[in-house]
Structure 1
């Protein structure tokens, strides 16, 4: 038990910025405990919602929960997040401990409207990141032939717990936001330059991934 607790503290320490680490570790532990309690209450509440005809628990959004379970990692899981400088635009773990097999996942969720054209959109995104990492195209930049020459190694993407975004604050300092699909998933960002109807765009994070790719 003592060795497990030692590993737990080391895992928390890796998530701090090394300044006042004890206080940050305490905050992380309290936050994780609170989240686990919330999850436990949610499970208990779902189990109390019983179908009167079958007398079996029927959690709300059951199918959705099953489908999305693969797109995020539980906070109880350990994932290293090495230090990077604030000059980096974003930061996710290089871990490959939580793979998601694309072909199997797409087949499993083929009836989900959100999966429509998922693979060509993913290929378009990855090609754009390879060709011009500092700006985003309109989603129709590459031909079908160009997309098919992109190879996702082992047909896998790798799931991560959190994404850290570095940015410059209004008072010209460096700031960082820590995002995850569990409890900090709603984001707002500047709209594209050609969108004059509203200055901001909005999105929700459903998963954080990285992929190893080759453009043949």
Structure 2
């Protein structure tokens, strides 16, 4: 099930769909349009995230799946529910995609 779920996730970008916590169901034909360059998936233990702070300064944060894996995200749920999602990063991947 990993590859169909990966392709569904990758298909959200060209379709302009924002991640909202729900999974999208694309057809097998849609999934066949997603090609992984050289059929390779790269696994990493580090992810560096660049962002702009509230006072317009550039900052960078590092997520390490081995030592600093706990993260907090702004919730996409109803505002009356808790405002953050808490997660633990298990693995970090990147792929080069052709669509």
Superposition TM-score tier, normalisation by shorter sequence? 0.7 to 0.9
Q: Give the TM-score of the pair, scaled to structure 2.
A: 0.78
- Asked if residue 123 in structure 1 is aligned to residue 7 in structure 2, the reply is yes
Structure 2 residues not aligned, in runs of 5+: none
How many positions carry a matched residue from both structures? 98
Q: Which has the higher strand share?
A: 2
Q: CA RMSD in A?
A: 2.3
Larger radius of gyration: 1
Which residue among 16, 28, 51 is the counterpart of 1:144?
28
User: Unaligned regions of 5+ residues in structure 1, if any?
Assistant: 1-116
| Higher RCO (C-alpha under 8 Å, 6+ residues apart) | 2
* Correspondence for 2:89: 205
> Hey, which bits of structure 1, 4+ residues long, moved more than 3 A?
193-196
177, 181, 191: which one pairs with 2:75?
191
Classify the secondary structure of the residue corresponding to 2:37: strand
Aligned twin of 2:42: 158
Give the Å deviation of 1:213: 2.0
Cα deviation for residue 175 of structure 1 reads 1.8
Using structure 1 for the length normalisation, give the TM-score: 0.40
